[in-house]
């Protein structure tokens, strides 16, 4: 097998566009997923059985079905009911909903890890349960789970490549375009594999640095 990367530099802009779209899609999806995950986590922890059931069912369904199937349901299934979204919106919806299922469990474990005495102390100061959760418990939980949320971003950065199946112009889709033009399948894939590796490595290093700063802040 002969590798030939000589024609690849002329498609640099396509790869750059793919990187930008991939990072943009990941950032938006993880941000929305974090908000939705917080809501689902609180629902799952609710004392109202119906609400708790809905939260638990959401987590189980999302975590128990493939991301690819979830994307295809939104992209191919919903149009049968007259609901159609462009590829970028489909990617955000699917990735956000998927991320929320995992973030909900991260947040739930973070809330449960907070010392129960914090809630008791807050209630003794006259706070309602919701006020204590909003101003005392959740801020502490968020600080504890920030590293896990960072890991979720790295995971989602890689998993976002699956949106290429619906034609979204992410990094993987750009490699498919280059491959179809140059008739070289291996070289574009090697390039995007290297790009994904570099991106995940950079974000992982930044995450590790952030974790160390958090720990050093706690010791002061």
Residue 108's domain is classified under what CATH number?
1.10.3720.10
153: its two tokens: 């971003």
* Global pTM value: 0.85
pLDDT of res. 82: 93
pLDDT of res. 99: 94
With b for 16 or more beta-carbon neighbours within 10 A and e for fewer, the 24-48 pattern comes to ebbeebbebbbebbbebbbbbbeee
Q: Specify if 127 maps to a domain.
A: yes
pLDDT of res. 103: 93
Q: Specify if 1 maps to a domain.
A: no
Each residue's pLDDT tens digit in the chain (220 positions)?
A: 678 888 899 999 999 999 999 999 999 999 999 999 999 999 998 889 999 999 999 999 999 999 999 999 999 999 999 999 988 899 999 999 999 999 999 998 888 888 888 888 888 888 887 888 888 888 888 878 888 888 888 999 998 999 988 888 889 999 999 999 998 889 999 999 999 999 999 988 888 887 777 767 655 5
Q: Specify if 5 maps to a domain.
A: no
* Domain range enclosing 28: 13-219
Category of 17 on φ-ψ map: left (φ > 0), alpha (ψ -120 to 50) or beta: alpha
Q: Specify if 110 maps to a domain.
A: yes
CA–CA gap between residue 112 and residue 186 (Å, rounded): 47
Q: How many domains does the chain have?
A: 1
Q: Specify if 181 maps to a domain.
A: yes
Q: Specify if 2 maps to a domain.
A: no
pLDDT of res. 55: 95
pLDDT of res. 140: 83
pLDDT of res. 58: 96
CA–CA gap between residue 191 and residue 100 (Å, rounded): 31
CA–CA gap between residue 179 and residue 183 (Å, rounded): 5
Residues in the chain: 220
Q: Specify if 205 maps to a domain.
A: yes
Q: Specify if 192 maps to a domain.
A: yes
pLDDT of res. 1: 60
């Amino acid at each position: 097998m002969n590798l030939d990367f000589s024609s690849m530099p002329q498609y640099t802009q396509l790869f750059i566009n793919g990187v930008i779209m991939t990072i943009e899609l990941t950032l938006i999806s993880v941000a929305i997923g974090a908000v939705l995950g917080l809501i689902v986590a609180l629902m799952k922890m609710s004392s109202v059985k119906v609400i708790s059931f809905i939260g638990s069912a959401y987590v189980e369904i999302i975590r128990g079905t493939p991301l690819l199937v979830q994307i295809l349901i939104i992209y191919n299934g919903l149009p049968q009911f007259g609901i159609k979204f462009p590829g970028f919106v489909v990617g955000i919806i699917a990735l956000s909903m998927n991320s929320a299922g995992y973030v909900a469990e991260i947040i739930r474990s973070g809330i449960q890890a907070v010392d129960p005495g914090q809630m008791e102390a807050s209630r003794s100061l006259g706070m309602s349960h919701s006020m204590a959760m909003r101003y005392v418990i959740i801020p502490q939980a968020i600080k504890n789970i920030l590293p896990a949320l960072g890991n979720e971003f790295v995971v989602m950065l890689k998993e976002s490549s699956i949106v290429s199946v619906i034609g979204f112009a992410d990094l993987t889709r750009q490699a498919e375009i280059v491959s179809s033009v140059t008739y070289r399948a291996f070289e574009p894939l090697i390039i995007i594999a290297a790009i994904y590796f570099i991106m995940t490595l950079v974000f992982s290093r930044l995450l590790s640095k952030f974790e160390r700063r958090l720990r050093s802040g706690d010791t002061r």
